[in-house]
Copies of this chain bind each other. A is one copy, B any other.
């Protein structure tokens, strides 16, 4: 753990002392236009896993709860609806910049003691993120390594990023939404105990790389983006430094299988968090268009 101000890579104050948007600032209209220009086939990918009781979920958390209610008149009009109870980080989701912090300071130096309340967080909450729209780059690490999925605890390094990107002939540009395929989401259906015990993912070496490349968001097909030997882990350095020091958006439990099968490495990506006032994150259904 470090002192209040990070000694490593940081974006604090880069976009002003009042900034609550972090790397979302990297995405410009030019980037959006460029990303729209990537659409060449009109094929659309939904990158979400099912949002359901037994769906992918950080194991210590409560499971999602959904009960459908409906009228049952034999004639005439009827209706149905659902009571939904869930953690804001259920299933496929995005972390708000207030989700993780250390030494009592949130991203950009805001005082956690002051801004963290049971009625919602008053800085860096998810309602500061109306959308993430831009160029998505899929790094199919599992495909590049020739495996169905990486192994439990297998790290993905900055060097892997470079090598995989080179093999795929894609470059990484400022404002990119980086999509990391480990194949681990496939484990969820076939060996849930293994899936819940840890995961392959990106390691600490990627943090300076992400800062240097000015990546706007990282999504992965695992529970926590980063490599974990056990759950809960002792530390979550990618969350701790990525979210709190870099103001970087992390997204978890995505499914890139269809994109990888199509080698759809570049796409227009649209992430639309629910505008939960004061919320610490949101379930999302990320969309990629090629």
Contact = CB atoms under 8 A, between A and B. Distances in A.
A44 interface: yes
A6 interface: no
A130 B285 CA distance: 8
Given A76-B103, A275-B49, A70 B133 contact: no
A272 to B, nearest CB: 4
Q: Which of A46, A65, A74, A76 is most buried by chain B, counting CB atoms within 10 A of its CB?
A: A65
Contacts of A118: 67-70, 118
Interface string A210-240: 0000000000000000000000000110001
Indicate the size class of the contact surface on chain A. 35 or more
Nearest to A100: B79
A264 to B, nearest CB: 13
A146 to B, nearest CB: 29
B33 A36 contact: no
B78 A87 contact: no
A33 B44 contact: no
B284 A272 contact: yes
B68 A278 contact: yes
A112 B78 contact: yes
Contacts of A37: 39
B74 A277 contact: no
B76 A102 contact: yes
Contacts of A1: 75-77
A120 interface: yes
* Closest A-B pairs by Cβ, 7 of them: A29-B42, A36-B39, A32-B42, A46-B130, A69-B118, A33-B42, A82-B88
Interface of A: 1, 28-33, 36-37, 39-44, 46, 48-53, 55, 61-63, 65-70, 72, 74-89, 91-92, 98-104, 112-113, 116-121, 127, 130-131, 133, 235-236, 240, 268, 270, 272-281, 283-287, 289
